[in-house]
Amino acid sequence: MVPLPAAACLCLVLQVMPWWAIIYLLVFIAFSFVGDILGKFDGTKRLRRIADLLTGVTFATLFAGFWLMPIHRALGIAAPLLFVAATAWECCTAPSDLRKIWRDTELSRRECIGLTLLAPLLAWPLCIIAGIGVWKFHVHPGL
């Protein structure tokens, strides 16, 4: 398989993915990146920041793979394993993330509530579509 130039890849993405999915993916990537950068300044350990970054990249890649099946073909059996690992990481770190938000004295109560609601509203649909894509391609390829 010959790798495609960047312009050809962009054209393929624009043809295959719906516009709302592209916007949603870009917003998710932006929020994840900003969150990872802010984690650097609030004392989050480097390994934790790297794991959070890799989790975001995994979910974003698998989300795009819902429409771009060559992503799943390239990842092979690693796709379901990456999905399970990223989901497990998110489930294990979510309680400490919530505690950190609510213990932050610089945030008002409204900001804490907003951040508590924003993260799941932004991440869960992406994770669910990524999971459906993994299920559709690897578990039930005929769907």
Parse the chain into domains and list their residue ranges: 18-139
pLDDT digits (tens, 9 = 90+) for 69-84: 888 888 888 999 999 9
What's residue 6's pLDDT?
Answer: 57
3-state helix, strand, coil in the chain (%, to 5): 85, 0, 15
103 or 35: which leads in pLDDT: 103
Pairwise CA distance, residues 101 & 97, whole Å: 6
pLDDT digits (tens, 9 = 90+) for 39-93: 777 777 888 888 888 999 999 999 999 988 888 888 888 999 999 999 999 999 8
Give the pLDDT mean for 116-143: 83
What average pLDDT does the structure give for the chain? 84
